[in-house]
Homo-oligomer: A and B are copies of this chain.
């Protein structure tokens, strides 16, 4: 489980670095599919991971800034780093005994929903990879090579915590 989170963190960091060489106009240009914009997609990935892990599973009182409050590459990098500091210890402490633990979520319709923590963890993993796939298409649309999505070859597997 940890290794797929590490992969996502590494890929996200590379996309944020990639953003530094792209104009703000391109990062905020409306595009087809997904969230519809490059920079808000990266913000959304961070916010969703932080919301589910720290707010949802851990049940902590957290504050998630609006996109407008962190609407630059540097600010989203700082937002991502700050969330990472808060949530990484939980990810590294994860163990199989937490798989079936139940967490309660409030849906957009205001209803309570129960989820197994293992289900939420995998949801967060798949969520980021899916949105990164969308960024790869948009990247080609603006004539840029996307960040590699390969898991193999980026040293995650033998990474030291």
10 contacts between A and B (CB under 8 A): A4-B125, A32-B140, A33-B139, A120-B152, A123-B150, A126-B129, A126-B151, A127-B151, A130-B130, A137-B138
Q: Complex formed: what's the CA distance from A152 to B59 in Å?
A: 18
Residues of B within 8 A of A126 (CB): 4, 7, 129, 149, 151
Chain A binding site: helix, strand, loop or mixed by DSSP? helix
Q: Let me know if A34 and B157 touch, CB within 8 A.
A: no
Q: Is A71 engaged at the interface, CB distance under 8 Å to the other chain? A: no
Residues of B within 8 A of A116 (CB): 157-158
Interface size range of chain A in the complex: 35 or more
| Tally of this chain's copies | 2
A binding-site residues for B, Cβ under 8 Å: 3-4, 7, 31-34, 115-116, 118-120, 122-123, 125-127, 129-134, 136-141, 146, 149-152, 156-158
- Which single member of B118, B125, B136 contacts A134 (CB below 8 Å)? B136
